[in-house]
Structure 1
Amino acid sequence: MSTVQTGAPRREPGAPAPDGPGDAGAATARRVARYSGFRPEVQGLRFVAVLLVVVYHVFLGRVSGGVDVFLLISAFFLTLSFVRKLEAGRPLDLGRYWLHVFKRLLPLAVLTVLATLVLVAAVYPGSDVGRWRAEALASVFYVQNWALALSAVDYYAADHSSASPFQHFWSLSVQGQVFLLWPLAFAAAWLLTRRGSLRPVPVLVALFGTVFLASLAWSVHSTATQQEFAYFDTRTRLWEFALGSLLALALPHLRPPRTARVALGWLGLLSMVSVGVLVDVQGAFPGWIALWPLLSGAAIIVAGRSGSPFGLDRVLASRPLVRLGDSAYALYLIHWPVLITYLVLRDRPMAGTWSGTVIILVSLVLAVLATRLVEDPLKGWAWPERNRRRLAGVVVLCLALVAAPVLAWQHVEDRRAGRIQAEAARNNPGAAALEPGFAYRGDPDAPTLPLPEDLPRQPASLGEACPEDLALPEELRRFCHESVSHEAPERTLLVLGNSHLQHWLPALRPLAQDERWRVLTWIQPGCFYAAAEDQPGSESCRAWFEGAERMIGTTDPDLVVVQSTFTDTEGEFLRPGLEQRVRELTGRGMPVVGIRDTPRFPEAPAGCAVANGADDPRCTFTHPMVGTPDPALPLARELPLYSTLDLTDLICPAGQCPPVIGNVYVYWDDDHLSRVYSQSTAPVFGERFREALATDGPGP
């Protein structure tokens, strides 16, 4: 990016005249002065905003809205800095700016990430370690918000047992992305004003006003339709930064009287503190309701220096709060891993009054020490500032300090996993251990599969994307996959249901390969092939259910596989509407196989086994459905084309549901089979599937 080049005697067309005698120089000086000067009350506000985040996290387990104020302040200061350059006709030098800002931000972030990784290796559950390594990389490369956004809309992500110690990096990632994007807006303003009569400030007002309106509109829409994703989406947060920039541009022209400044300050603080109590911030943001904390923070900034002994600025601009404001960044970085590590060690959902107070004090002390011993010395380090190459070297070194150990750690784990997998047939028989006369001849010390760090990655693959030969509307193709393909298939099977059918796909694939069946899937986790009123409130479930008939008509399957019953932790039942669906399909001459649902447990048996050992009786569960006949059997006896498949004894043999069978974790969460265990049931699954077709009705 080219930058403004100034210097006597030449100047760029349209650039303001250099300071000096005369009206032009005086006018330039006045414009620059409007956006100059340190604002101690805003620095104090920065600390208050972060302290709100910390207090709400520790004591309430909620989100406060303080992060939004923190983002507003970041854009406020960033805008003041660049407007001073534009008004004075100084070079923007974007390359140097980017290197300088990340040279300033990365050292403390890297220190926090590395310290957290040490804690992860030492005390965190093994089932989560692999995910934490990936999140450490996402955090230091400022993409953690996108990693969390993708996880937030992942049906299975809700089953993770502990909060990520890197989760708070989402807002820093958004901030880092804005630090890359926002200077481009200032460069655009320079381009638009360098050849004409336009001034930078009106151009910037137009640019940031457009960003504000477009991003806010998208934020409102996205929050209403996919709030979990929207919460971490950079695009839904840009308007918050734009508001901070517009505030910085407008502030020099706002001159409220002293009484109004005093009122604005205290009312803004009261409003900012109360929003997290009165609003479910994490469940409602970042739509229009985020205006509440942002306008509260803006009111405090507009109040500014009131000059009144009763003004809020007397508190915010006090020396202690300003100094603590210098440590706000470090406090935000440090408090979250300290809190989460404490909760992991104590196995508690929240901190108590005394422990929470200690956590805040420890975090504050560590933040002050980190600022004084790390951030301040590196901020004043002159050597990197001498040229861009040195700045780039520092930035690359910071990134490498995290990337190198994380990738090395992952490489070691991958090699270990490869060795374990090579011996899996002997050491990890899974469901084969239930066969009569089975004798284990593997290594008694062999690790259980899947490895703890691989447990979160166990959802069964759906296979390839929807094949082109199926004439489906584009908006429906996301539900369709080809799980087993053949160039000239003998028959076509359609698997129609939710994740409790998906987890049997590894067991079905070998049978389909042997029989040369093409397997198509129409699966949406959390939805039910029953009745329209049976669907959860999401638009995805309604679209999936309404599109099921289109899928059936398009594929004209030789066999439809559905889930015959449904379970919760209390029991098993036939969902209303399923019988009608089955009768409709068999009435059209389509054979249907109903697979009995698997038990759901109050917690993840594998997680319990990882933490306490597979032999711990707390990790072996039972369920009311165990030992009872399949409730769908009467319907199978009535309808010749409907047959049932009951595999409960492979999960809960002898009336008990152990976490491990044949040195394999049966479930990876509280209600889904691990991919490894499902694969191990393939021989029995195939045998019983064939028997069901032969016994209860005509098969393909």
Structure 2
Amino acid sequence: MHMVDGLTASPRTTAAERSKNVAKPEFRPEIQGLRAFAVLMVVLYHVWLGRVSGGVDVFLLVSAFLLTASFTYKVEAGKPLKLIGYWLNRLRGLLPAAIVVLLAVVAATVSLLPRTRWEEVATQTISSLFYYQNWQLASDSVNYYAASQSAASPLQHFWSLSIQGQVFVLWPIVIAGAALLWRSLKRRRPDLGFRPVLAAVFGGVFVLSLAYSVYVTSTFQTWAYFDTGARLWEFALGSLLVVALPYAERLPVGVRVAMGWTGMAAMLSCGLLLTVQGSFPGFVALWPTLAAGLIIGAGQTGSRFGVDRLLSIKPLARLGGISYALYLWHWPILVIYLINSGNKTANWLDGSAVIGLSLVLAWATTKVVETPLHQWRWPTERRRRMSLVVAALIGVVLIPLGGWQNRVDAYEAAAAQQTPSDNPGAAALNAGYEPEIDPAAAVLPLSTALDDEWAKAGGACIEQFKPEDEGIEYCRQYGDPETAEKFIILLGDSHAQHWTTAMQPIAEKNNWAWILIHEPGCRYGTVGPDRNDSCNDFIEAAPDYILAHAPDAVFTVASITGKYPDGDLTPADQEIVAPGYVEGVLPFAEAGIQVVGLRDTPRFTYSVPECVDMRGTENCSLPKDYVLAPENPLDELAQQVDEGQLPRELSFFDLTDRFCLDDTCHAVIGNVITIRDEDHVTRTYAHTLAPVFEERFRAALRW
């Protein structure tokens, strides 16, 4: 018996004899053309339409088809699979172009992007290099705070390459397992072919993965989009094409011509007719993958009317040859352009420049880097040599990343030496304040440390204060409500949460205790059809929790500032009392619990730290009348309380004058950045607001 990478060949025929009877997969020029159309769809939709097209799904299917066809030939011909050699060779083929792009993005990040992007790009460079970028993005997609970044990462497109890399490891193992199963079954059924076994294995993967994909897409689409398990069925479909292809080739030429053009029409129309972002990768992704399957299944028809004739023309073949590099280049070029221009989308002229530059760099990368390394024979002669080449390629990225991290560490160490007087924040607004800020002192928080600027006060709620209702998922606690002088519950969303930074030192000084119950993106009010299920569940559960624990006061953010310009409406035109606010808090007031509502903070229309980093502290402010209504919308409620129309337990206060001075809302006050993104107060600035917060909080509650 002949052992090949753990597979035992049948003794009845030699590998040489079997290989004579098995046709080696031929070059399919129309598949290069299919790749060309797929990458064009991806690039054009990204650049000009700001959406996804289904082209990536075509790439996934094609990659699985080619991989499975190659391994199926080896199994049927009795050739050794050489899995380790295959994996090393795939890395040698994939890494060079990817590394060139990763290094270019790192260099562009340091020289062209604000420091706010540095940590994100550094983290995603590692996850892209080691093919787990999709899981990094999946994790960020379920993190409300990570998802609130104002622009995409220049490496975000590596998610699909990461999934492909994972499948390039998994699929050969699955095929090897199928081969072992086939050889076991052949002892009882000598006439059994390998492809029926392959069909059963990948048919099972297809069904299970598609079922999971449909489920997770319907329940958690942002996670599902990057989930390898929710995408495996697309690869399985490509593998099943290998089994089906011999049958498709027997169909009449006219039928295959119709198949090809039907597939082409369906593939090109997918992105236009479907909202891919909100529905993939569930059953809707069958559209582009089945379309590509029809094109591959149509094969080489030999007809002048066949779609393969179009797909085989030389310009498309050349474009298909650089499709991998083009995919790698177009996205970072687009994102870096958008960040530096301040535009949300590219116009026709700028978009053409992005595409043109991407094409030039893709061609150069393929010609100068990818092809020469692919043709280099020295590494292929021994596995050890191949391992050394792969390790060297990885080191080319890791070494400059280490130097970059040293630069960031030095930057942060210098800032750590600053005295508190260099960054007084809101204290600079106090009467009689005398400036002592060193002109050379860095603005805080550092743009490389923004992940630490989310409010992190308190700890998890414990014992009887831990919510029993699943509608309250997030609960933080500081102090013991049973022994504290005062007990406050902070209620709402992240805009209530960011005030815990100011509340903590106040509570510590006065022996108060507080509990925060919040739901991201859910301003407290009443249940409504425009709110998501999690928000409605939270609003339904919160009153029972609060009434059961009977705090001395409930703190809320009672208004909402406008998010973005909407037609002729400015953000100021959209500032309102939180929908259902009064109805939502009345049960507390009727139970004798004091309720204090704060006016919302100004909401900028861009990332404040990014603007400060790129344009300076004086160029990132906005007119107050652009972001806030001329009158505080809570003043009307306060008047109703004074007139006896609302319970006396309701009160309100405002900190707008600590963000907006002289009719201007400032990005930086007292050498401290006020807003962490577009609308959340930085932890550093909130801490400096504690004294004035306490003063106005006490005044509103008459404590």
DSSP-derived class of the 2:301 partner: coil
Partner of 1:525: 520
What residue in structure 2 maps to residue 53 of structure 1? Answer: 42
Asked whether the 8 Å contact 2:213–2:224 carries over to 1, the reply is yes
| Aligned pairs for 1:82-481 within 5 A | 82-157=71-146, 159-197=148-186, 199-254=193-248, 255-455=250-450, 458-461=453-456, 463-467=458-462, 469-470=464-465, 472-473=467-468, 475-476=470-471, 478-481=473-476
Greater Cα offset, 620-629 or 578-587: 620-629
Select the residue among 46, 57, 82 that pairs with 1:68: 57
Query: Matched residue of 1:133: which SS?
Result: helix
Per-residue Cα deviation, 1:102-155 (whole angstroms, up to 9, x for no partner): 122111101101012111222223332332222222221212222222333333
Partner amino acid, structure 2, of 1:56:
Y
Q: Tell me: CA distance 1:539–1:597, structure 2 relative to 1, closer, same or farther (3 Å).
A: same
More divergent stretch after superposition (199-208 vs 675-684):
199-208
Question: Structure 1 residues 492, 256: closer, same or farther in 2, change over 3 A?
Answer: farther
Q: How much is the aligned-residue C-alpha RMSD, in angstroms?
A: 2.8
1:79 aligns with 2:68: yes
Comparing 495-504 and 515-524, the one that deviates more: 515-524
Mapped to 1, the partners of 2:391 and 2:617 lie a distance apart of 44
- Equivalent AA in structure 2 for residue 437 of structure 1: G
Residues of 2 paired with 1:271 and 1:643: CA distance? 59
Partners in 1 of 2:467 and 2:475 — Cα distance? 9
2:14 pairs with 12, 18, 21, which one?
18
What amino acid is aligned across from residue 292 of structure 1 in structure 2? Answer: W
CA contact (8 A) 2:472 2:541 kept: no
Q: CA deviation at 1:501?
A: 0.7
Q: Is the 8 A contact 1:148 1:170 kept in 2?
A: yes
Q: What is the rounded CA distance, in whole Å, between the counterparts of 2:203 and 2:267 in structure 1?
A: 24
Pick which of 628-637 and 164-173 moved more. 628-637
Partner-residue secondary structure (3-state), 1:378: helix
Contact 1:44 1:321 in 2 (8 A): yes
Deviation at 1:217, TM superposition (A): 1.9
Quote the offset at 1:446 in angstroms.
1.2
**AA at the equivalent of 2:678:** D
Code of the residue aligned with 1:17 in structure 2: it is T
Structure 1 residues 88 and 481: CA distance shift in structure 2, 3 A? farther
TM-score when scaled to structure 1? 0.90
1:322-344 Cα deviation digits (max 9, x unpaired): 33322211111112222333334
> Counterpart of 2:658 in 1: which secondary structure?
helix
Write the letter of the residue equivalent to 2:220: Q
Structure 2 CA distance, aligned partners of 1:481 and 1:60?
42
Say which of 682, 685, 690 aligns to 2:693: 685
Conserved in 2, the CA contact under 8 Å of 1:427 and 1:443? yes
Q: Could you say if the C-alpha distance between residues 44 and 247 of structure 1 is closer, same or farther in structure 2, counting changes exceeding 3 Å?
A: same
- SS at 1:496 equivalent: strand
Counterpart AA for 2:686: S
Specify the code of the residue in structure 1 equivalent to 2:14: P
Alpha-carbon separation, structure 1, partners of 2:10 and 2:475? 58
Deviations 1:428-472 (A, max 9, x none): 110000111111112112121122334466332265344354454
Task: Name stretches of at least 5 consecutive residues in structure 1 with no aligned partner.
Answer: none
Q: Distance in 2 between matches of 1:325 and 1:65?
A: 17
- The answer for the alignment partner of 1:615 in structure 2 is 618
Match of 1:630 in 2: 635
Partners of 2:7 and 2:652 lie apart in 1 by 84
**Alignment CA distance shift 1:544-1:49 (3 Å):** same
SS in 2 for 1:442: coil
Q: Check if 1:39 corresponds to 2:4.
A: no
- Aligned equivalent of 1:495: 490
* 1:18 alignment partner AA: T
Aligned residue pair count: 683
**Per-residue displacement from partner, 1:153-177 (whole Å, max 9, x unpaired)?**
3334454333321121111111111
Please say if residues 7 and 176 of structure 2, whose CA atoms lie closer than 8 Å, have aligned partners that are also in contact.
Answer: no
Instruction: State the one-letter code of the partner of 2:211.
Output: A
SS at match of 1:630: helix
TM-score computed with the length of structure 2 as normaliser: 0.90
Give the aligned residue type for 2:316: L
Q: Which moved more, 1:132-141 or 1:436-445?
A: 132-141
Give the distance between the partners of 1:627 and 1:60, measured in 2 at CA: 39
Which runs of 5 or more structure 2 residues have no equivalent in the other structure?
187-191, 563-570
1:578 aligns with 2:581: yes
Distance 2:350 2:661 in 1: 44
- Asked if the contact 2:653/2:696 (under 8 Å) is kept, the reply is yes
Distance in 1 separating the partners of 2:110 and 2:321: 31
For 2:537, the aligned partner's letter is A
The 1:463–1:403 alpha-carbon spacing in structure 2 relative to 1, beyond 3 Å, is farther
- Work out the CA distance in 2 between the residues paired with 1:172 and 1:474: 41
Worse-superposed segment, 613-622 or 442-451 = 613-622
Is the alpha carbon distance of 1:97 and 1:477 closer, same or farther for their aligned partners in structure 2, counting shifts above 3 Å?
farther
Instruction: State whether structure 2 residue 658 is matched by structure 1 residue 650.
Output: yes
Flag the 1:462–1:270 CA change in 2: closer, same or farther, 3 A. Answer: farther
Once structures 1 and 2 are overlaid, which stretch shifts more, 235-244 or 92-101?
Answer: 92-101
Task: Call closer, same or farther: CA 1:196–1:267 in 2, change over 3 Å.
Answer: closer
Aligned-partner Cα distance in 1 for 2:419–2:682: 15
CA distance in 2, matches of 1:211, 1:475: 34
Between stretches 106-115 and 329-338, larger displacement belongs to 329-338
Higher mean displacement: 618-627 or 183-192: 618-627
> What is the rounded CA distance, in whole Å, between the counterparts of 2:168 and 2:470 in structure 1?
35
Q: What is the identity, as a one-letter code, of the residue corresponding to 1:5? A: M
The structure-2 alpha-carbon separation of the partners of 1:290 and 1:428, relative to structure 1 and needing over 3 Å to count, comes to: same
Which residue number in structure 1 is paired with residue 567 of structure 2?
A: none
SS of match in other structure, 1:532: coil
Following the alignment from structure 1 to structure 2, what is the Cα–Cα distance between the partners of residues 485 and 188? 58
